[in-house]
Amino acid sequence: MDKRLFVIGDPIAHSLSPLLHNTMARLLGLPYAYAARRVTVEALPAWIREVRREGYAGFNATMPHKLHLMPLVDDLTEQARYFGAVNTVRRDGARLIGHNTDGDGFARMLAEHGWAFAGARVTVLGAGGAAGAIVRKAVQDGAASVTVLNRTVSKAAQLCPGEPTVHAAGLDAPVPPDTDLLINTIPIQAAPDGSILEGLRRDCAVVDILYAPPKTPLLLAAEARGMPAVNGLGMLIHQAILAFRFFTGAEADDAALARALYRAAETGAD
């Protein structure tokens, strides 16, 4: 079986995924090699044909592919169906199986900081593939309420239709002042500035799922207000651990792996 794994996206040069997955392969003594590949939306069907032709073991996907992959794979796991997006694809014989590790990876990152969705009032900025996974995980884990703010309100409303705890509004709407957890999923060039934090409690946690740069303008503004602020590196690391297990079937001490991956990300060496 081919042991090549990839991450695809556009852009992709900044991705830490090759470093993380190659570190796990080395630590676990598994003969997998993981690389980044720039793939545009237009080239995604050709990429799927290449994966089938070459017999690659699998791949991860980041923006803008998580929604586009849904109809292109042969089957979807329960997680991919529930979260409505695919960020991990594994070869299973001749079939490609779409999976999602974003929601569970995000929840694991929250737990590292002593936070949880259960009982929390959550506000999510953006309504893309990652936002969908986060919103649905919040619902699954028992959030008291989830407010989704997006430029296109109808797109936000589609993330969890019929769920009474989920509310959609425009990006210009105020963040509910009782928010416990504010999560930004909008790319840095379009993300709201620190003024969106006005009126929030100082103990409201602010998470930006971006990890490059390590401190976005939103996180810097949160820190300046004395609010707990975290970037998306932990989400990336924990979803990578779950994805690597999905690719390889290898069991490992997840806490020890996470510590090793944080060190690798800090030093830039696997």
- Give tens-digit pLDDT for 63-106: 899 989 999 999 999 999 999 889 999 999 999 999 999 999 99
Among the options 66, 137, 155, 215, which is catalytic?
Answer: 66
Average pLDDT, integer, range 175-191: 94
Question: Which pLDDT belongs to residue 130?
Answer: 84
- The residue among 75, 98, 104 whose CA lies nearest residue 86 is 98
Q: What is the mean pLDDT of residues 33-62?
A: 97
Distance between CA 145 and CA 244 in Å, rounded?
32
Q: In what order do the strands lie in the sheet with 166-170?
A: 166-170, 145-150, 121-125, 181-184, 205-208, 229-230
User: pLDDT higher for 130 or 21?
Assistant: 21
Which has more confidence, 269 or 13? 13
**Contact between 70 and 98 (Cβ < 8 Å):** yes
Residue 2 pLDDT class (50, 70, 90 cuts): confident
Give the pLDDT score at 91: 97
Q: Residue 197 has what DSSP assignment?
A: G
Residues in CB range of 67: below 8 A, 6 or more apart = 84, 85, 128, 129, 132
Angle, helices 17-28 vs 254-267, to 10°: value is 130
Please identify which residue in the block is written with the tokens 């020890």: 256
Active site residue 66: yes
